[in-house]
Chain A
Amino acid sequence: MPAMHRFLPRSLLGQMLLAVALALLAAQTLSAVLIYRADHQRREAALISSLAFQLVSDPRFEFREGRNGRGGHPGRRKIRMERTLESPLQNGELHDPEREAALKDVLVAQDIAIDKLVVFARKVTDDDYVMSGRAGPVAGPEGRWSLDDDALIAGLKRAGENEWLVARVPRPEHNTRALGGLILQTLVLYIALVGGLAFLLRRITRPLAALTERMSRFAGRAEGLAPLEPSGPEDTRALIMAHNEMEARIAALLDEKDVMLGAIGHDLKTPLAALRVRIESVDDEAERAKMAATIEDITHSLDDILSLARVGHAKDPLERTDLAALVSSVVEEYEDLGEPVELGDTIRIALPLRATWLRRALRNLIDNALRYGGAAEVSLAREEGYAAICVSDNGPGIPEGEIAAMFEPFARGEASRNRSTGGAGLGLTLARAIAEQHGGSLSLTNRVEDGRIVGLAAELRLPQKG
């Protein structure tokens, strides 16, 4: 029943409470039924013995029942038992063989010789003998007989006698008060148990919820969080403490990574600088230019690596910046170097952003376009809810299946394998990380015209609020 799943609770707290509530309901129902049945049997036995007592004792002495009336009437009343020549069972009335058998057992045990025995129920209002008051007061606060009840009537004809002796006891139709008490008792037990359990379970699930929340926060940004306070039962505490240890270790590793990358950057840049100075003494100008280009490539890769290490926790604040001016100033740098980079359509958009980082992302995208496409066009447009910077080239594009892999560190397009140049392959990874640092995204799509790939377009989207 898949539709049922929708109504089942999903949390630990909900599921356990439901299971316990169902089990408790089953147990309570069972015990209620047992109690009800035992009570029923007890009352049944009381009725039978009352009838038997009347039938056995009457011929010997008068049965009396005393009650204290409020009106000051003396408390003793004589109740006579009916004697008839006919069986009390009238036409249309059904005798009750089960109760007859039970009564017979009692009478036989008293050594009474039975000729005929009949037991049946009749409504009090239909019984003339009771209504005449001879079997005790009818109705009212002192009434032995209530008009709503049945009368249980037993007729006995002893062996060798002509007369029937008839005994009557009131039999209340339903004992609803007992059943109500039982339901109330079940309810109280239910509330106490489920409430207590809910409290206990909350103690388990609250630290779990805190831990879950903490882990998702840690996954997002690993800095500046004090360790989580262990709470809840021993098992949960142990889990939280283990988590704290793991978190501390991850944080230490991340710190170590940043320190190491910083040291690598510093330690490599000084010898690179020395190398860059030394090649000035190379006389062959072409050779020197190649060396300088190689050193520049290494420096560029090194900067990408260092930036990638820092991109997740940039310290510089977001500043409201004219994006169009930023895009055009980057394009102008390339223009000034004589690179074939063109500024397409732009639109004035001001966004809170980190200009240094965004410049870097843009440069990486343009460098890629130049490397694989030979030329680049950069445009800026406003789309639904975001600003889109698009860098497109006229290169061979990327096979559809390989686009996702391009974002992996050190992935490179097909074209670069045929060329001696090519960065560390961190360019796109870093550009995407920078887009994500701004809450945006980076996507690559082939530009298709007439079913043919005519180039690649990289689109960097930045969310625009309001």
Chain B
Amino acid sequence: MSDQPTRLLLVDDEASLREPLADYLSRQGFLVEQASDAAKARAALLVTTPDLVLLDIMMPGEDGISLCRHLTESKDLPVIFLTARGEATDRIVGLEIGADDYVVKPFEPRELVARIRSVLRRAARSGGAAPASEALYAFEGWLLDPLKRRLTDPEGTVVPISSAEFRLLSAFLDHPRQVLDRDRLLDMVQGREAHLFDRAVDNQVSRLRRKMEADSRDPRLIQTVWGGGYRLACDVERVAPARVED
């Protein structure tokens, strides 16, 4: 990161949460500005431009989703939603309008910090906010929807995968036919559950193979490269999310 402290804008109508959270984030080395509703947030944005916005969805007046649309369209700012709801539909709505991540209340403050850093890292890499793309990955008849984190096999059956497996698979799909060594994979895969991802990459790969390969001892998709690491042994296309399946 740069030497300058990271500037956050925290938008939440609940002072009882907003104030202690701002204190906590300040102690973690962030420069935190607070806004109690969307109008105040818009006013604050005219004065300074934060590096990232933390946004409550349910607020009186203009809600978080509408403000988020404004932020990502006009300012191209990374956004993390704070939501009291945990429904998968909220997640998709949030991510489709351009939020980069979300946490469900009550969240662990450390996890929030980890996600803030993760989103900022991604934004820095791609030179701006990088919301997940809508296009699906298509390979060997399989489809991966990066928004919904939904993997379907050639017959259209949904194959549930964990977040770690999703990130591992995404890493492979972004670099088809390339040899990826364990360190590189670990770096690409470390995400929000970095603290959970303490098992070896090998373990995750073998889990993924169990779910995707017809015979996990003779893998056709994710192959082991002796001395090197792993390689996705097929081509990948990005396709528009036309509703082919179901």
Do A and B make up one complex? yes
B211 x A321 contact (CB < 8 A): no
Q: Given the interface contacts A320-B157, A325-B211, does A270 sit within 8 Å of B88 by beta carbon?
A: no
* Chain B residue contacts of A280, Cβ below 8 A: 24, 109
Closest chain-A Cβ to B164's Cβ sits at a distance in Å of: 7
A322 x B159 contact (CB < 8 A): yes
* Chain B residue contacts of A321, Cβ below 8 A: 157-160
A328 x B17 contact (CB < 8 A): no
B107 x A276 contact (CB < 8 A): yes
A271 x B85 contact (CB < 8 A): no
A329 x B165 contact (CB < 8 A): yes
Contact mask for chain A residues 319-339; partner B; CB cutoff 8 A; 1 contact, 0 none: 111101110110011011100
Instruction: Find A276's partner among B88, B106, B159, B196 (CB 8 Å cutoff).
Output: B106
- Asked if B225 is at the interface (CB within 8 A of a chain A CB), the reply is no
- Asked if B84 is at the interface (CB within 8 A of a chain A CB), the reply is yes
Contact mask for chain B residues 1-42; partner A; CB cutoff 8 A; 1 contact, 0 none: 000000000000010110011011000000000000000000
Closest chain-A Cβ to B155's Cβ sits at a distance in Å of: 8
Q: CB within 8 Å of B: which of A183-217?
A: none
Closest chain-B Cβ to A343's Cβ sits at a distance in Å of: 9
- Asked if B246 is at the interface (CB within 8 A of a chain A CB), the reply is yes
- Number of residues on chain A facing chain B (CB within 8 A): 38
B158 x A269 contact (CB < 8 A): no
* Chain A residue contacts of B105, Cβ below 8 A: 269-270, 272-273
Instruction: Find A336's partner among B17, B108, B196, B210 (CB 8 Å cutoff).
Output: B196
* Chain A residue contacts of B21, Cβ below 8 A: 273-274, 277
B158 x A276 contact (CB < 8 A): no
A275 x B211 contact (CB < 8 A): no
Closest chain-A Cβ to B47's Cβ sits at a distance in Å of: 26
Q: How far is the CA of A333 from the CA of B166 in the complex (A)?
A: 13
| Tally of A-B Cβ pairs under 8 angstroms | 98
- Asked if A266 is at the interface (CB within 8 A of a chain B CB), the reply is yes
- Asked if A303 is at the interface (CB within 8 A of a chain B CB), the reply is yes
* Chain A residue contacts of B161, Cβ below 8 A: 325, 329
- Asked if A278 is at the interface (CB within 8 A of a chain B CB), the reply is yes
Closest chain-B Cβ to A162's Cβ sits at a distance in Å of: 120
* Chain B residue contacts of A320, Cβ below 8 A: 156-158
B246 x A328 contact (CB < 8 A): no
Closest to A327 in B: B160
Closest chain-A Cβ to B202's Cβ sits at a distance in Å of: 14
* Chain A residue contacts of B58, Cβ below 8 A: 266
- Asked if A355 is at the interface (CB within 8 A of a chain B CB), the reply is yes
* Chain B residue contacts of A335, Cβ below 8 A: 199
The A interface, classified by DSSP as helix, strand, loop or mixed, is helix
- Asked if B207 is at the interface (CB within 8 A of a chain A CB), the reply is yes
B162 x A269 contact (CB < 8 A): no
Q: Given the interface contacts A273-B17, A316-B88, does A322 sit within 8 Å of B153 by beta carbon?
A: yes
* Chain A residue contacts of B156, Cβ below 8 A: 320
- Asked if B241 is at the interface (CB within 8 A of a chain A CB), the reply is no
- Asked if B89 is at the interface (CB within 8 A of a chain A CB), the reply is yes
Contact mask for chain A residues 351-395; partner B; CB cutoff 8 A; 1 contact, 0 none: 000011001000000000000000000000000000000000000
A328 x B16 contact (CB < 8 A): no
Q: Given the interface contacts A266-B84, A322-B159, does A274 sit within 8 Å of B165 by beta carbon?
A: no
Q: How far is the CA of A413 from the CA of B128 in the complex (A)?
A: 53
Q: How far is the CA of A350 from the CA of B196 in the complex (A)?
A: 29
- Asked if A299 is at the interface (CB within 8 A of a chain B CB), the reply is yes
A274 x B246 contact (CB < 8 A): no
Closest chain-B Cβ to A258's Cβ sits at a distance in Å of: 13
* Chain B residue contacts of A230, Cβ below 8 A: none
- Asked if A292 is at the interface (CB within 8 A of a chain B CB), the reply is yes
**Which one of B82, B89, B159, B164 has the highest number of Cβ atoms from chain A below 10 Å of its Cβ?**
B159
A316 x B89 contact (CB < 8 A): yes
Closest chain-A Cβ to B116's Cβ sits at a distance in Å of: 14
Instruction: Find A274's partner among B14, B86, B157 (CB 8 Å cutoff).
Output: B14
What 3 A-B pairs are tightest by C-beta distance, nearest first? A273-B106, A273-B105, A274-B17
12 sampled A-B residue pairs with Cβ under 8 A: A273-B21, A274-B20, A274-B21, A280-B109, A319-B246, A321-B157, A324-B211, A328-B210, A333-B162, A335-B199, A336-B198, A359-B160
Q: Which residues of B contact A (CB under 8 A)?
A: 14, 16-17, 20-21, 23-24, 58, 82, 84-86, 88-89, 105-109, 153, 155-162, 164-165, 193, 196-199, 207, 210-211, 246
Q: Which residues of A contact B (CB under 8 A)?
A: 265-266, 269-278, 280-281, 292, 295, 299, 303, 315-316, 319-322, 324-326, 328-329, 332-333, 335-337, 350, 355-356, 359
Given pairs A269-B105, A355-B158, A356-B88, 14 additional interface contacts (CB within 8 A):
A266-B58, A273-B82, A275-B106, A276-B109, A277-B20, A280-B24, A281-B24, A295-B106, A321-B160, A322-B211, A325-B160, A325-B161, A326-B160, A333-B162
